[in-house]
Amino acid sequence: MTTASKPAVLAITRNSDAHLAWMREHFDITVAVEPDFRQRTIEQHGARFRCVLTNGSEGLHADEITALPNLTLVCVQGTGYEKVDVAAARQRGITVTNGASSNAITVSDHAFALMFSLVRGIPMLDAFARQGGWRSQLQPLPIVSGRRLGLCGMGAIGQCIARRAAAFDMPVGYFSRNPKPDVPATHFSSVMALAAWAEVLIVALPGGMATHHLIGGDALRALGSKGYVINVGRGSVVDTVALVACLHASEIAGAGLDVYEGEPAFPAAFENCPNLLVTPHVGGWSQEALDNSVRMFIDNALRHFSGRPLTGVL
């Protein structure tokens, strides 16, 4: 297939040269990651593009959609799509998809890494041992197995986490908009009820107004002084001010965040905050997940341009 016969795709996400080479086997790819170049490319060549490849952080705005008259498909790499104007796309009849399952395994593994690190106090124990400390100077530590696990969100990531929890004999409850009868877990109709029941609360929800600060002071206090909260969804779901206040007041036992409000800037409120473990949004960052996201994009775009059913349609 010559470049002229390949569907033109505007890629506004960063991808490796190897991944771009995969894409170029099937599509005419234009990369426009820098904001100024992105704007100029859309203004000057918008009519060329039939597909846009983006992610939740880079998004795609309504005015950009208007400036792309031949756009028929928007593919989101990864799960989040909070900055993609899905409503504007739908109004134009443009299909929007995401790669919700592409990084589910990686994010789930990371959620468990944060949980074990928090509950078993791994960072503290590492520092303690390096200073010459020994177990006889410590109180016995809690374990993870058997703890009640509450999941905020039961999509691909939530279900992957739930499957891992079964191996550690953890009862699983979850909050989602709709119950999932095929999932062997207890559905809770509110976050408050779930938090009051859970001992570990893992947030795996997308961002946006519907979930903004869904986990606030009341939910954290319902979780209680022996409870842990972990966020691998979006930073905006957890109220930073409320979380920091609860940690300083020992109203929860600890928090593990892979995502946080205002990222990538590290919140000043996190400095000297006790029992807080933070990683720089690497929960879905593995070679396997990146490969999966590119393969899913290629497969979905090929399906779209050949008139076949798509996966992950929003």
Residue of 187, 281, 295, 303 marked active site: 281
Asked if residue 310 is part of any domain, the answer here is: no
Looking at the fold, whether 112 and 63 belong to one and the same domain comes out as no
First-residue to last-residue Cα distance in the chain? 30
Half-sphere exposure (CA, 13 Å, Cβ side) for 119? 22
What's the whole-number average pLDDT of the chain? 95
Asked if residue 311 is part of any domain, the answer here is: no
Residue 2 clears pLDDT 70, i.e. is over it: no
Looking at the fold, whether 199 and 245 belong to one and the same domain comes out as yes
Looking at the fold, whether 244 and 174 belong to one and the same domain comes out as yes
Looking at the fold, whether 263 and 222 belong to one and the same domain comes out as yes
Mean pLDDT of 31-46: 96
Give the pLDDT band of residue 207 (cuts 50, 70, 90).
Answer: confident
Q: Which phi and psi (to 5°) does residue 230 adopt? A: -130, 135
H/E element holding 176? none
234 assigned to active site: yes
19 assigned to active site: no
Contacts of 17 (CB under 8 A, 6+ apart): none
Looking at the fold, whether 133 and 72 belong to one and the same domain comes out as no
Give the pLDDT band of residue 4 (cuts 50, 70, 90).
Answer: low
pLDDT score at 3: 65
Looking at the fold, whether 108 and 190 belong to one and the same domain comes out as yes
Asked if residue 273 is part of any domain, the answer here is: yes
Residue of 234, 251, 261, 304 marked active site: 234
Looking at the fold, whether 187 and 244 belong to one and the same domain comes out as yes
Q: Which phi and psi (to 5°) does residue 200 adopt? A: -130, 130
Asked if residue 55 is part of any domain, the answer here is: yes
Question: pTM value?
Answer: 0.87
Residue 219 clears pLDDT 90, i.e. is over it: yes
* Chain centroid to CA 29: 26
Looking at the fold, whether 29 and 43 belong to one and the same domain comes out as yes
Asked if residue 313 is part of any domain, the answer here is: no
Looking at the fold, whether 195 and 210 belong to one and the same domain comes out as yes
Q: Angle, nearest 10°, between helix axes 287-305 and 17-24?
A: 20
Identify the CATH number of the domain in which residue 208 sits.
Answer: 3.40.50.720
pLDDT (tens digit, 9 = 90+) per residue, 151-169? Answer: 999 999 999 999 999 999 9
Looking at the fold, whether 42 and 113 belong to one and the same domain comes out as no
Asked if residue 148 is part of any domain, the answer here is: yes
Mean pLDDT of 22-46: 96
Asked if residue 296 is part of any domain, the answer here is: yes
Instruction: Please state, as a whole number, how many other Cβ atoms lie within 10 Å of the Cβ of residue 283.
Output: 26
Contacts of 41 (CB under 8 A, 6+ apart): 10, 30, 32
263 assigned to active site: yes
Q: Beta strands 228-231 and 149-152: pairing type?
A: unpaired
Looking at the fold, whether 98 and 126 belong to one and the same domain comes out as no
Asked if residue 61 is part of any domain, the answer here is: yes
Structural domain including 47 reads 3-102+287-305
Residue of 45, 213, 248, 263 marked active site: 263
Looking at the fold, whether 156 and 267 belong to one and the same domain comes out as yes
> How many domains does the structure of the chain reveal?
2
